[in-house]
Amino acid sequence: MKTPKIREIVEQFKNLCKYHSWKTSEKDDWIETDNGYHNFVWAKSVHPSSFKSITTNRKCVVREGLSYRVVKASYIAWLLSETPPKTLAKTISENPDFSKRIALYNLSPISKGKNLGFKLNNTDSPVFQEFEKFLKNDLKVKLQPIFSPEIDSEKQEITTLA
C-alpha cells in the first residue's frame, strides 16, 4: 500500500467532511461548521517563533470566487511531517487559550510508512475529533498522545527514526 502524503490525507478527509454537511474549500485547508472555521496547517516543520505567531493570530484566508477575505479561525490543527520541536507541545500545554483552540499532530511516522502518529488535542473541535476517527478507522493509524507516561519525546524521536 502506498504511503499517503499529508496533502492526500487532508484531501481525503475534506471529502469525508461533506457527509457532515460541513463546508470545505477546494483549494485551501479549512472546514467551516456552525462553530466557525477549523484550519489545517500542514508543514514539514515549523520554527517555534513562527508557530507562536501563526497560532496567536489564528488568521484563515477564505476564497470566494475571485476575491479573498481573512477570518479568525476558531481552531487550528498543525499537521507536521517531521517530529516537531518539544517546545511546540509545551507552548500549547502551558497556554490555556492555545490548548482550547490548537491541536498538534506529528504525522512523521506515516511519511515513513508506519501506521502511527502522535497527537496533542485538548480542543472541543468536532472536526478534529472526526479527523482522528478518520486516521484511526480509514487509514488504520494508531494515534498516541504526545504526552504520555509510556511515550516521552525521546521515545517518539526514536520511533520516528526507526
- List the single range of 38-42, 51-55, 114-118, 158-162 with lowest mean pLDDT: 158-162
pLDDT of 3 reads 61
pLDDT 10s digits, 48-95:
999 999 999 999 989 888 899 999 999 999 999 999 988 898 899 888
Report residue 161 as a C-alpha cell.
527514526
For residue 146, which of 115, 94, 104 has the smallest C-alpha distance?
104
pLDDT of 2 reads 59
Average pLDDT, the chain: 87
